[in-house]
Structure 1
């Protein structure tokens, strides 16, 4: 048992050890590249160590299983900056959807999304990650839709989950399933159609 008051060698009095942070960043960058190149099976401690230069002992200490490394990578990839709110429903919806579209067009996050969708039915850990990514990806839209319902800009009985499906579903299908390009007007037109179909009755 360690001595009382012993410090983590990777933590300094001023915060995380910069060397440990560099190793972590290098390992995750290598894992991201391998995920794109080879998919799920390509991200192993051996391959990440070879690609990043980070020792396997260090990798095992931070991520005892390769699945944990991929989970950390996914969490980082889906960490997006919140969109600044304008207070105008149409503009806020367009901003949120464009942020999500940027995530789909990022090679790392797109590949990662394909991996977790593929693995979720087979591995409960990935099902958990997929659920977390889904919640993270829809929090902004949920806030916008619920706020609009409270202000009377959308029907009070509108199911928020269904509204999110109608807004994000076309983007996911078009990008991940059909692979069709997005015209500049696609997101504004999608939002306009959504709002026109759900305008509160007088």
Structure 2
């Protein structure tokens, strides 16, 4: 993380355990405060009081509260990408399942609800939402673009539209309907997409 003691660690000794604990405590507190009161509640004073991490330490690693929020979101929405294969269907299923793991993370889900709710009202939230979306779907876009170049996705389907058609149902079902997902949900979603847009569709 930028400016953090956990980025470099101690030379030859690995990350400082105390710095790791402080980082985890500060990010957890920032997440709770963001959920409870929004962006304005995430201050050095409130995070220090909630986490027990000294304000001097917070200022040193995160000079602005926005940097703390950015790092929190980067952690919460870190997609664990699976190994790529030569099989488009398998790669799409693997990437959507990885995205679903992030979407169904309890704290990540609550934070995401706050961001989505406030994005139309506050440009800071809108910018964060756009950044999270781009980062979280980067690998999916790569898979789609490569499939288009190989002719496995036919027509002139825009990559953004393709991402929306694959990710949109997951976001709607989880964040709007509060639904859960059976084992067959993602494979069926991918199969429907490939029937409509795949070279064999």
For residues 115-137 of structure 1, the C-alpha deviation after alignment (integer angstroms, 9 at most, x for no partner) is 22223233323222211111111
| Distance in 2 separating the partners of 1:66 and 1:121 | 21
Task: Classify the secondary structure of the residue corresponding to 1:115.
Answer: helix
Show structure 1 runs of 5+ residues with no match.
Answer: 1-7
Aligned twin of 1:164: 163
Q: Which residue of 2 aligns with 1:44?
A: 43
**TM-aligned CA distance change 1:12 to 1:173, over 3 Å:** closer
Alpha-carbon distance, 1:175 to partner: 0.3
What is the CA–CA distance in structure 1 between the aligned matches of 2:200 and 2:178, rounded to whole Å?
37
What is residue 3 of structure 1 aligned with on the other side?
A: none
Gap change, CA 1:197 and 1:29, over 3 Å in 2: same
Cα pair 1:85 1:92 within 8 Å, conserved: yes
* 2:77 equivalent in structure 1: 78
* TM-score normalised by the chain length of structure 1: 0.83
Contact 1:35/1:111 (8 A) holds in 2? no
- How many residues get paired? 193
Q: Is the 8 A contact 2:155 2:197 kept in 1?
A: no
- After the TM superposition, which residues 144-159 of structure 1 pair with which residues of structure 2 at under 5 Å, given as runs? 144-159=143-158
Bigger radius of gyration, 1 or 2? 1
* CA distance in 2 between partners of 1:160 and 1:114 (Å): 25
Deviations 1:88-147 (A, max 9, x none): 011111101111111111012111211222232333232222111111111111111111
Q: Distance in 2 between matches of 1:21 and 1:201?
A: 50
In the alignment, does 2:33 pair up with 1:54?
A: no
1:14 to 1, 11, 21: 11
Q: TM-score, normalised by structure 2?
A: 0.84
Equivalence for 1:137 = 136
The answer (yes or no) to whether the contact 1:150–1:156 under 8 Å persists in 2 is no
Runs of 5+ unmatched residues, structure 2: none
Deviation string for 1:42-74 (max 9, x for gaps)?
533333222321012222333344333222211
Matches within 5 A, 1:84-95: 84-95=83-94
Deviation at 1:188, TM superposition (A): 0.6
Alpha-carbon RMSD: 2.5
